[in-house]
Each structure stands twice: as C-alpha cells, then as structure tokens.
Structure 1
Amino acid sequence: MASEKKEKSGIKKRKLNDGVHWPSAPKVFNDPIHGSMELHPLLVKIIDTPQFQRLRYIKQLGAGYFVYPGASHNRFEHSIGVGYLAGELVKALKEKQPELNITDRDILCVQIAGLCHDLGHGPFSHLFDKMFIPKATRPPGLLGEKMENWKHEDASIEMFKHLVESNGDLKGMMEEYGLKLSDDLDFIKEMIQSPGDEKEYKGRPKEKSFLYEIVANKINGIDVDKFDYFARDSYHLGIKNNFDHGRFIQFARVCEVDGQRHICTRDKEVNNLYDLFHTRYSLHRRAYQHNVVKIIEHMIAEAFLKADQHIQIEGSEGRMVTLSTAIADMEAYTKLTDCVFDQILNSTEDNLKEAREILTKIVEREHYRFLIEFKPKRTPNKDDIPQLTNKLAAVLPFPQQEAQADGLTQEDFVVLSATMDYGSGAKDPIKSMDFYSKKNPTQTFKIRREKVSKLLPVQFSETLFRVYSKKIDPESLEAARKQLEQWIEVSNDTFPDFLVHNWTDLPVTAS
C-alpha cells in the first residue's frame, strides 16, 4: 500500500548509473536569474540546515545596500544559484563527452561544493574577512595563527564539516545516496578551497582534475561562482550584464593541455569571455568599489573593531567568544550574521557607545565625505598598495600632523584604496584560457589579443586612492579641501607618486 501511495504522489525511487539514487522527487526553486531550478533532495536537506539558512542574513554585497536600494539579495540565493549552475556545467560535459567517465556521484559532489562554497562568509560578506579580521586583536596561540591569513574559504571548510557533523542523519543520507564519504568529503572540500595544484588533490584522480575548475577556478578565474554573482548582482543593481554564461556552458569542452585535462571553450567565444571580464571590472567600478560603499564599509569595520571585545557569543560547550574569535568556533559563527549591526545600533551599553555612534552616522546618512581621488602614475603591485595608502595618509593634512588653524588634524582624514581589474591583476586574463576550434575540437591553442580586436584595453588593472573627511560640516569640508589644494601645489616635489584624478564637488552630498 505504501508503494502505491508513492506512485500516486509521483514520488518514485530513481536508481542512477553508479549507485546514487533519489528516494524522493527533486524540488524546484523558482529563481529570478535562472528560472526553475531542479535540485537533488540531498541538496535540499543541506539547504534546510541552520548552517546554510544562516546565509539568508548575510548581504551578498555587504554595504552596497546602503547605496543601491535594490541590492538586498543575500548569500543564500547566490549559493543556491551556484549549486545549480555547477550541476548544469558538469552535466553538459558528461552529455557531450561520455569518455570523461563523469559519474552521477561526481555530479552530486560538484553540486554540493557549489552550494556550500560561501558557508564561511561573515557579516557583510567580504567586509568581515578583508577589513575587520585583519585588524582585529589577535589572541595568542592557535587562533592567532588562524587569523593571520584567514579567509572566508577557511571558514567555509570548517562550516561544511560542522554542518555534516551536527545534522543528525546527514552522513547516513549521503551514504544512502551513494556517496563514499572517505573520498567525497575531501573532494567537496577541495573544490570549495581548491589548492590549485593537481598533486595535492585527494578526492579525485588526475584524469578528473577538470572538475576542480567548475566552482572555484584557480587557473583562469572562469567558474560558475562568477557566472551567478555577475548575473545576480547586475540584476539587483540595475546594471547591464553582457556576459552570457549559457553560451559558455554550451561550448565548454574538456581538452588535454600539457598532459592535464582542462575546461576549454570555442575560439569564437573569446569576445564573450572579454565581456565576462569587462563585466567584472564594471561591477567593481560602479558598485563594489563605489566611493560611498567603500567608506561605509570602512565605518562598519571601524564600529566592529570598537565593539569586538564587548560582543559575546555562546559557542561550543558554553564557551563565550567575541566578534572576531567566533571564526574559531563554528557553533558561535553560525549565530554571527549581519544582525550584529542592529545589535550594536540598538544597544544601550556604555561599552558599545563609540561603535553605536559610528553606525548611527551611517543610518542617518552622516557618513564620512569623499573629497578627492588620486591615481598613481604607475600601476602599483598588490604589495605596494598598503604602503602607498599609509604614505599618502601620513602627509595629510598638509604639511604636518599637529592641528592647523582650521582645527583639522591627521585623524580627521581617511585614505582608502580601490583596485579594479579584469580578474588577473595587470595581466590579460585571456592569456590563461585555452581554446579549441570547430574543425579540431581536441587540439587547443591560445588566442593572441591582436587576433581579437584592436579595441581591447592596453591596461587591465587600475588602483585609485581616495581621501575622505570625518568632519562633514560645510566649514570643515571647505577647510579640508583647501588643505588638499595646498598639498597638491607642492606634491610634485614632495610626493611625486600620484596624479590628481577627480575632485568631488562641494558641498559633498550623502550618496
């Protein structure tokens, strides 16, 4: 009778070709970007865990929502989109190239990696790991070592392990669906944080190393993570996206390059890929690195640093951790979301007063004001940028640190850098991509830029340095501008590294 009921409800047990089976029907998610997305029941089980549901409360674009009202989307829907696209790409490869021996087990693992790749993001996404954690006080011992070069991918691995261990029968369900945990859990974690060297892979053999290029591609940066967030961010920001990820999936093919299997694409798709990288640059220039977005991120990080030791979160075994040390305790980290902003903002404790005042300025649109933007005469290396930022900050206000007649001091200025590129620093990203032709789909080659177009950029990276004023009353802003004008008059002699790129108009507006 039970089997008859299942037949009537349309739920059938489906056996797949290598032992993976679905004891129930997949669920369909309706998405504004990808339409109807059909997901395996195991993926739905993972989505329904507290560790994944946490992503509902972490903004995809961090502080971007304070400037772009439509940018209210979260890591939750992005992660589901990446899991879906990861499955679409690997399924397309399997259908076109049966000789690759892609199993349904492989497909399920790739989908799980796509789904879980962002589990480790902290409050306001990259603000947490790039602006807050590096400046947080590092306690002694192992945690201090972890914080030294900590990235959200590190937390994604730890959170995935915590998700698997703390959700009852999840391991049993994985095994029931045909996964071999001894290999497949390593495989999933390696795809989330790809080591970039095939010698270090444990989850899959060398002949399947191309699978590591689907979720986080360390070879050329072309992966389904970018496919989703370019399309999704553009949609919510109201910015056009010229890249067609559907065409890339359609023309993707695995070819052997120097004895290694890589995902390649048709030669005629080279312009589509340039659109991909130009879209990346445009999103950074117009949204991610927007001058108001950057200063609000700076202020939130500033507030978090002041509140750090006064925020207490209960972790494993009842241990209390702070805002920064929660990264070492996944039970506590599961509770840490963008909601900490409101926790500080609505607090009444005296020890959170300074942090509360900073966040109040943000919500009341009294954030620090953008004054001027400098462009360096040469393209700085990544390691040079912090030194140049500090060097510029050290000479503001002109000419020395003590208070001027107008009352401004060095503490009244903030200098931030913003780097925008095509994804490979100063290099042309297409140089890392391999192509095949219609006539010979197994032979790969590089495409020289002169074969593509004479209209391609000659430089693929740009760094800007921006100066902001903490004092925002009209008198202080005018005084700050006059000081900068004085500085510029002698900068060619005393500080020759920068050119003036753009003055803001005064009075400075809020957005």
Structure 2
Amino acid sequence: MAGPVSSLGYVNTERKFLKHIRDNVHGNILLEPIFLSFMDTEQFQRLRDLKQLGLSYMVYPGAVHSRFEHSLGVYWLAGKAIDAIKKYQGQELGIEHTDVLTVKLAGLLHDVGHGPFSHTFERGFLPLVLQGSTWSHEEMSVKMIDHIVDQHKIDLDSELLKKVKEMITSSPGHSSQREKRFLYDIVANGRNGIDVDKFDYIVRDSRACGLGCNFQHERLMETMHVVDDEICYRANDYLTVHKLFATRADLHQTVYTHAKVKAIELMVIDALVKANPFLQITSLIHQPSEFWKLDDSILKTIESSSQQELKESRDLIQRIRRRDLYQYCNEFSVPKERLDHFRSITPQDIVCSQTNGANLKEEDVVVSYVKIDLTRGRANPLGSVNFFKVLIHLNSLLLSLLSFSFFFFGKYID
C-alpha cells in the first residue's frame, strides 16, 4: 500500500513506505508514496496492456514491452536528471524539493493518456472516423491525471499539479515565460528534442528488438549544465547528442516503419474503422472515466465476438493471424530538392495509371507517407542545441557557449 501523502506533496521516505521495482534497463527503480498513489490505480495499471511499440511485436517478437515499463523508466531518468542538476547547481538555480517531485511525476504520468497500438490509434484510426480530429494523447494524459487525483482522492497541491501537466505538454511557445524554464525541458523538450522520454525509449526499444544501441544517455546526464535557463551539454559530447537523433531515425526506419509493420497497422486500422459503428470506440475518447477502459485487448474483443456486425473486422484480424497481409508494392524516396514541389500521390493516381490489366480499384490501394528526420525536418538538429566549453581563468571556471550547427552537413530528412 502507498504511505501517507501530505497536501504539499512532501514525501514520507521511511523505508517501510518505499517500493523497489527491478527494471531490465535501469536496474532497481525506487518509488516513494506519492508516486505509488498514482501508480497503484487502475488508470495507470492500464499501461501494462498497451504495448510500447504497438503492433511491431508481430514482426519483432521481442517488442512486447509496455507503456508501463517505459513510464517507470522515464520517471527514473527524470529523477536522475534533476538530481544531477541539483547536485552542482541546486543553490544557484533555486531548485527545491517540490521541483524534483514535479519533474518525476511528469515523467511517470506523461503517457497515462496514450491510446492502443502506439500512435496507430491516434494518427491512423481517429483521423479516418473523426474528420479534423485534434485528439492527442498528451491532452488526454492531462485529463487522466485530473481524473486519477479526483477519483482516488490524492491530496496534492494544485499549483504543483498544474506544473506537472504543463511539463507533459511542454512546447517552446508555452514555456518561454515560465520560471525555471529548464525544468520543462527534462521530460518533453519542445526546445530541441533532447529529453529523458527519448533516452528511455531509444535504449528500451533497441534492446527489445535485438538491435544494437551505441547511444549513451548516462554520459549526457552526468555532464549537462544549465546556462541562461537552458540545459546545455559539454562540447566534447556533440557526437553523443548526434547519436541520439541518428539512433532515433534508425529505429524509425528499421522498426517503426518496417513494411510488414505498416501492413499490419493498416489492416488493424481498417478493422477498427469497420468495428466502430457497432463498438462505438470513438465514444470512449473524450472522458477519462471511459477512455481508461480502452487498450490493446480490443483486438481480442473483436476476434472472439460472434456478432455479425463485427464479421468484416474479424476476417481482417484472422488474415493477420494467418499472415495473409496486405502486400507491399513499391516505394519512392523523394529527392530533397523536390520536397517543396512534391504533390501527394493518391490511390486514384495509381489506379488511373495501371496498364497491366490488374483492374485495381481505389479501395484496393493505400498510399502511406513516411517522413523520417532527425527531429528538425531538413535542419541540422545540433543547431537547436547549446553546448558549453569549460575555460579556466584566474583559477575560476568559466563556461563558453558554442554552436555545432555547422557540423554534419548533409541529409537530415527522408
């Protein structure tokens, strides 16, 4: 059971109220009562039933880890990051206990509003059934946090809770006027994309899929320094920062957008679209009191149903089980010099161009657009990152800010 939690959010750290969880990436993860009061709820435990990589496990059998493990990992790394900054700059930056608590809670809860099948639900299914949908898992996470606090009567300072939610939805425009802005870059960094969310999923996903990972987040976290309210990195570590972005892009190309994974995702999307009129899936996405019931098990619900209204959806899922997948046909990489003038190709374009008598119909063809970049489109991601070099002057240490935007000229987007 979780121990007592005070109204100000201060943590009772008596040993009997602590919990240790063994994580296969970070080792022992320690949880204090305030974090357990959120974790030991049905809303958070739902994350065990959401695979981190969605349907990728059907191609990479080891990719069965869940958003639950990832959330614990982000919580742990968020704590490590703020502790490292506090150790060397705590007094200078005015870092308080509540700042540490806020950052760690944001790490723990950042994905609590995620939908099924990774981003397939949000970016693939919802736009087809709700025209102009702006639904996002970040906004649902904010709603879900309020729901957890209300339903489980968690006594937490409202201002602290507000900051937790702001850290989850952080963006440069929203955080520019905030006090201690650097705190908002730890979990979800809208400024340059370097955050502990990426640190965890890059290492965790690589390991689960049996891929090598030469990115070392420990190196960055040990030496990062706050300058002008921004987290900066040692000049010697510019290659490590570049590896973060490069490894992420490699995972997108190798795993997340694998041709078979995309085929299965498209089939699941079609199955959900056909099932929606009967199951009313979209009616669950607005209120957290309903949304928490939605997870990856919806496929099994459809598959095991005998309802005639779900027959087409069942047939599609059966095809996936029997490996009768949509067939990958071809791909075309748009040259970077033509990106600005590239016109989207539609299924109609392809059907109208067929010359071999295949008699394809528009509904037989899906065109999938995949953009893989280093988080900054065609721009060099290092151009958004500040680095520092330590200078010794009159027995004092000075920090000189540097830019590495001129490094790695070449292609940053595919």
Q: Is the 8 A contact 1:26 1:41 kept in 2?
A: yes
User: Quick one: which amino acid aligns to residue 216 of structure 2?
Assistant: D
**What is the alpha-carbon distance in structure 2 between the residues aligned to residue 13 and residue 67 of structure 1?**
45
RMSD over aligned CA atoms reads 2.5
- Aligned pairs for 1:227-238 (under 5 A) are 227-238=199-210
Q: Is the 8 A contact 2:103 2:167 kept in 1?
A: yes
User: Quick one: which amino acid aligns to residue 240 of structure 2?
Assistant: N
Q: Determine what percentage of the aligned residue pairs are the same residue.
A: 36
- Aligned pairs for 1:13-28 (under 5 A) are 20-23=11-14, 24-28=16-20
What secondary structure, in the 3-state scheme, does the structure 1 residue paired with 2:404 have?
coil
Q: Is the 8 A contact 1:82 1:225 kept in 2?
A: yes
Residue equivalent to 1:192: 168
More strand by share: 1
TM-score normalised by structure 1 residue count: 0.75
**What is the alpha-carbon distance in structure 2 between the residues aligned to residue 339 and residue 13 of structure 1?**
34
- Counterpart of 1:46 (choices 32, 38, 45) is 38
Q: Is the 8 A contact 1:216 1:223 kept in 2?
A: yes
Q: Is the 8 A contact 2:225 2:232 kept in 1?
A: yes
- Counterpart of 1:447 (choices 404, 410, 413) is 404
What secondary structure, in the 3-state scheme, does the structure 2 residue paired with 1:372 have?
coil
Residue equivalent to 2:275: 307
Q: Is the 8 A contact 1:13 1:22 kept in 2?
A: no
CA 1:13–1:301 in 2, change beyond 3 Å: closer, same or farther?
closer
- Counterpart of 1:348 (choices 293, 297, 306) is 306
TM-score normalised by structure 2 residue count: 0.92
**What is the alpha-carbon distance in structure 2 between the residues aligned to residue 226 and residue 54 of structure 1?**
22
Q: Is the 8 A contact 2:113 2:141 kept in 1?
A: yes
Q: Is the 8 A contact 2:378 2:412 kept in 1?
A: yes
- Aligned pairs for 1:219-368 (under 5 A) are 219-256=191-228, 261-311=229-279, 322-368=280-326
Unaligned runs of 5+ in 1: 1-10, 139-146, 175-180, 312-321, 451-455, 463-511
Q: Is the 8 A contact 1:122 1:336 kept in 2?
A: yes
CA 1:227–1:166 in 2, change beyond 3 Å: closer, same or farther?
same
- Counterpart of 2:116 (choices 123, 148, 154) is 123
- Aligned pairs for 1:60-99 (under 5 A) are 60-98=52-90, 99=92
CA 1:269–1:296 in 2, change beyond 3 Å: closer, same or farther?
same
Residue equivalent to 1:502: none
User: Quick one: which amino acid aligns to residue 301 of structure 2?
Assistant: Q
Of structures 1 and 2, the larger Rg is shown by 1
CA 1:128–1:286 in 2, change beyond 3 Å: closer, same or farther?
same
What secondary structure, in the 3-state scheme, does the structure 2 residue paired with 1:414 have?
coil
Q: Is the 8 A contact 1:20 1:104 kept in 2?
A: no
What secondary structure, in the 3-state scheme, does the structure 2 residue paired with 1:373 have?
coil
What secondary structure, in the 3-state scheme, does the structure 2 residue paired with 1:122 have?
coil
User: Number of paired residues?
Assistant: 405
Matched, 1:136 2:129: yes
Matched, 1:149 2:134: yes
> Deviations for 1:280-332, whole angstroms, at most 9, x for unmatched residues?
11100100011111111111111111111211xxxxxxxxxx21121112111
CA 1:44–1:273 in 2, change beyond 3 Å: closer, same or farther?
same
What secondary structure, in the 3-state scheme, does the structure 2 residue paired with 1:436 have?
strand
**What is the alpha-carbon distance in structure 2 between the residues aligned to residue 398 and residue 14 of structure 1?**
65
CA 1:246–1:295 in 2, change beyond 3 Å: closer, same or farther?
same
CA 1:448–1:410 in 2, change beyond 3 Å: closer, same or farther?
closer
